[in-house]
Each structure stands twice: as structure tokens, then as C-alpha cells.
Amino acid sequence: MIARWALAGLLLLGLAPAVVAEESLWFEQGRPNPAALQALELLAAAPADGLDPRDYDTQRLTDALTQSALGPLAGEALSHLDARLTLAMQRLLSDLHGGRIDPRQIHANFDLAPPAPFDPAAVLREALIRQRLPQAVREAAPALSQYANLRNALALYRALAKSEAWQRPLAPVPRKKLEPGQDWPGTPALRQRLLALGDLAPDASVPALATRYEGALVQAVQGFQQRHGLDSDGVIGADTWSQLALTPEQRVRQIELTLERLRWTPLLAGPRMIVVNLPEFVLRAYEVHDGRIDLRLESKIIVGSAFKTGTPLFDERMRFIEFSPYWNVPPSIARKELVPRLRRDPGYFLAQGFEFVASDGRVSSGLSDAQLEAVLGGQMRLRQRPGPKNALGSIKFVFPNNDNIYLHDTSAPELFARARRDFSHGCIRVEQPLALAKFVLQDQPDWDEQRIRDAMAQGHSATLKLTDAIPVVIAYSTVVVKQGKVNFLRDLYGHDRVLDQALRQHSAKLQAPNARAR
């Protein structure tokens, strides 16, 4: 006898059994039971979570069950259809819980903890026994308010796809940019589009056929720019125009990809956590109480350059803080940037507080060609002493990882004023390091704000071990819902493009004729 819960595994191998001597999961007297009809509805509703119902063979299952309602099934035909529906529901539960593909297949340096152990067969069995199949499907997805908000955003943008606001393209802007006060024949179409998106209020005093770009329309564009990570100056240049030109269908796909990433990302890893969203250039510090996430800090950040040194995705635990840190120059930066700079401008060495450290720990504050050659040969390294010009600023937050990435202060805070902030070599600069230190040290009451300030300003390096390590997640979401508004962000490192391709390939394999025939 073959256990009914082994059928799905056999089908995956193309080994459907000829006879099953057990009662069917989804049929009574050869006809679909109420649970089977519920299952079909749940499979058909997969798009609400950004999933493709064709991945679960939904239409063919629906046709087969409809046919079975007219004439009861028996024997091998019944067993085969019962197993196919079981497999489809198990796959749906699994995809909702942990995503459809292994992210390590598309990101060479991906190092995020896998989702918690999840047995879709056991979950499905329990749901059928307790007659709570819809609830089990809903509970398989991440229990995050951001996930729920994105599902709502997905429905909104699917509805926008039917709007007339995208029936005709926007007119090109004059002389590559449109400034407030200028006339532009595309203004009526822009007004219609901003109304549909919610950036322009329905009662705004903008005549439907007006061609001057001014007033409430400029303010609406500024709101649109804020939602899209652009400089909110009201000027429609190439970046703003390209974002306005994107269709709701394209935004739907962007939201679907973000939902997929949320299913991978461990965002409930402890009572406190720090989450960095790279495309948003934002760090958030949270506390978790009974599954509820409370935001304690939100700070602008600077991340790795999209052109050369992108920040990797991973999660680790913060274990140390370094006050007044040294900056140990990574060998790659020393070879490619600092040594050539010092050869061109030797005065930069003393002005910036650099020194050499030999392999035996000896320190030298003098500059010579021999020492530079030793750095290139790996016999010495360069480091920058603590102080106001130190690249790490006054504090460094350490969560040991293979890529030597950490959070730190900066000696160039003016860069936080820019909308796009990918300027670093991979590490993450924090605009509010003091606030972050207070959050990290809140369970160590002897470290009050004044003591933290003193340690940051002391001018000599000191390391503090945290009493409790704090999870740090370096994540990647190009859609974020904030204060009820859907924010779309630049695909900074091209990860969405790669994920889109991988998911299309995944679906193509599942939907291939030989796969559907099983």
C-alpha cells in the first residue's frame, strides 16, 4: 500500500502508482468534495500573492474536476487526479512560505538564512483534518505587515492597468527637461496619470486641458519623485520622465518580485533586529513583540557603488562596537586607489592620518616608496588613525562576515543629502550613528548617551562586546509601502532583472507539456 502523502513525491519523479487502496483526499464516491473546490479557488487566487496559477496546473485541474463532477472517477484515474491536486496544493504552500527558487542560484554571494523548517505535506494534512484549508494557505505566507501592504499594492496596480491614463504615451519634454512654469503639450496626459496614481488630489485646481506646468501639478510631481527615490525638485528630467512612462503592468511585475524576495528574507529573527534595504538607502531598527514589529529607528545610509562594489545580501549577528576605530584599508582599495594617490600626492599621507603596519605589528608613520611596494606585495598594510578625517567616522558596528562588511559613521555627512547614495566600497555608512548605538546598547544601562558620545570622541580605539548579539539583515526590496504610499525604487544592482529571468525559467519548466502531463 502506498501512503497518500507519498503520491506527490512519486509524481515529481514521474512514477505515479497504478493503484491506490486508500480513501481519496479530494473525492467522495468519485466526485470532488468541498475541500477540492476550496483548493481550486485557492490555486486560482495565487496571483494575489504574485504567483502564477499556471505553475500549479490550475486550469487543467479545474477542467478535470469539473468533468469528474459529471461522471464519477474510479481506479487509476481517480488516484492520479487526487495526487495531482495534492501536489499542486503542497507546491502552493511551499512557494508561499519560502519562495519558488533557491536565491543562491541567482546571487553568488547570497548568504541569508533559509526559511524556518516547513513541511507542506504535514501542513496540508492538518488543514484538511481541521477543515481550515484557506487559513493554512494564508498562514504559509510571511506574517509581515509589509507583505500584506504589498499584496494590496499589487491589487491596486492591477486595477490601474485598466486605466485610460496609460492608453497614450507621454509627450517628450522640451530640451531634455521640463521646469515649472513652462508650456508642454503633455500636461493633460500627465495630469490624468498623476490623478490615477494618487499623487494629484481629485479636487486639485488643475484644468483638464491646461498646458502650463505649474501649481498643484508641480507639487504632485514632487510627491511622485519622493515615492520613486528621485530628487523632489519638480523638474521633469530624464529619470522622472522614464519613471512616469512605466506602465502599471511593469509595476505589477516589480511588486511580484518584491513579494518573492520577502518570502526569502528572515525578518523575524529575534526580539531586536536591524534591517538594511539597499535600493532604498535606508536602515531600520526594530523590536519584535508577540510577532508585532515596532520601528525604533530609521536612518539614511550610503551603500556600495552599483558600478564597482555593490553591497552583498546576507544576515549576521552584530557582536561588537568599535569606538574611535582605525580604518584598516582593504588590500584592493590600497592597490587600486590609495597607493596611486599617495604616489601622486605624498602630503595626503600625513594630512589624512595614515600609517603603515608590518606583518609583525610594527607601526610606521613615515612614507617611502619601499613601504608602498611592501603594501602592494602584501608585506605591509595601510591604516588610518582615529580622528575627524577617519573614513569610518567615530564608531563602527561589527557583525563578522565573509565579505568584511560593517556599519559605520562617516567623515563626509554631506553625501546623505543626495537622493541616490551608492558611493561606498561595500560597507554601509549610517547618518544617525549615535541613535543606532543607543538602540544597540539599550540593554546595557551603564552605556547611556553621554558615555556613548564620550567614547565616540575619545580619539583612541576601543572595542565593546555586546551583551546580546543583534541580527542584522542586508536585504533588497525595490518596492516599499510607507505611510500608505507605494514607493518604487531603482533596481540598484540589477537583482530584480536577474530574479525575473530566473522565475520565468522556473515557470517554463513547470508549465512544459511533459511536466503538466504527470
What is the per-residue pLDDT for 11?
Answer: 37
18-69 confidence digits (pLDDT tens): 333 357 889 998 999 999 999 999 999 999 999 999 999 999 999 999 988 8
Q: Which is nearest to 337 in space by CA: 305, 303, 301? A: 305
What is the per-residue pLDDT for 515?
Answer: 61
What is the per-residue pLDDT for 19?
Answer: 34
What is the per-residue pLDDT for 322?
Answer: 97
Q: Which is nearest to 217 in space by CA: 239, 237, 194? A: 194
222-232 confidence digits (pLDDT tens): 999 999 999 99
| SS3 state of residue 292 | strand
User: How far, in Å, CA of 150 to CA of 154, rounded?
Assistant: 6
What is the per-residue pLDDT for 176?
Answer: 87
| SS3 state of residue 356 | strand
User: How far, in Å, CA of 370 to CA of 366, rounded?
Assistant: 11
Question: How many other C-beta atoms are found inside a 10 Å radius of the C-beta of residue 205?
Answer: 9
**Dihedral sign of CA atoms 471, 475, 477, 482 in order:** positive
What is the per-residue pLDDT for 12?
Answer: 38
Q: What is the mean pLDDT of residues 391-415?
A: 95
Per the listing, cell 558611493 goes with 423
Q: Which is nearest to 334 in space by CA: 425, 246, 273? A: 425
415-443 confidence digits (pLDDT tens): 999 999 999 999 999 999 999 999 999 99
**Angle, helix 120-129 to helix 133-140, in steps of 10 degrees:** 150
Confidence of residue 518 (pLDDT cuts 50, 70, 90): low
pTM (two decimals): 0.90
Residue 234 has pLDDT above 90, yes or no: yes
Confidence of residue 516 (pLDDT cuts 50, 70, 90): low
What is the per-residue pLDDT for 210?
Answer: 81
What is the per-residue pLDDT for 194?
Answer: 96
126-176 confidence digits (pLDDT tens): 999 999 999 999 999 999 999 999 999 999 999 999 999 998 889 888 888
Cα→Cα distances 516→15, 60, 84, 386, Å: 14, 9, 9, 63
What is the per-residue pLDDT for 27?
Answer: 93
User: How far, in Å, CA of 44 to CA of 65, rounded?
Assistant: 14
What is the per-residue pLDDT for 395?
Answer: 97
Confidence of residue 512 (pLDDT cuts 50, 70, 90): confident
Residue 361 has pLDDT above 80, yes or no: yes
What is the per-residue pLDDT for 7?
Answer: 34
What DSSP line would sit under 64-77, residue for residue? HHHHHHHS---HHH
Look up residue 28 and give its three cell numbers: 467522495
102-131 confidence digits (pLDDT tens): 888 888 778 777 777 899 999 999 999 999
Q: Which is nearest to 499 in space by CA: 278, 257, 253? A: 257
Q: How many CA atoms lie within 13 A of 105 on its CB side?
A: 12
- Do residues 386 and 460 lie in contact, with contact meaning Cβ atoms separated by under 8 Å? yes
Q: Please give the domain boundaries of the chain with CATH numbers for all domains.
A: 4-144+500-516 (no CATH), 162-246 (1.10.101.10), 265-326+389-477 (2.40.440.10), 330-385 (no CATH)
Alpha helices in 228-378 (DSSP H): 238-245, 248-264, 331-333, 339-344, 347-351, 369-377
Q: What is the mean pLDDT of the chain?
A: 91
| φ, ψ (nearest 5 deg) of residue 327 | -105, 110
Selection from 28-32, 96-100, 209-213 with the highest mean pLDDT: 96-100
Q: What is the mean pLDDT of residues 341-365?
A: 94
Q: What is the mean pLDDT of residues 370-375?
A: 95
Residue 10 has pLDDT above 70, yes or no: no
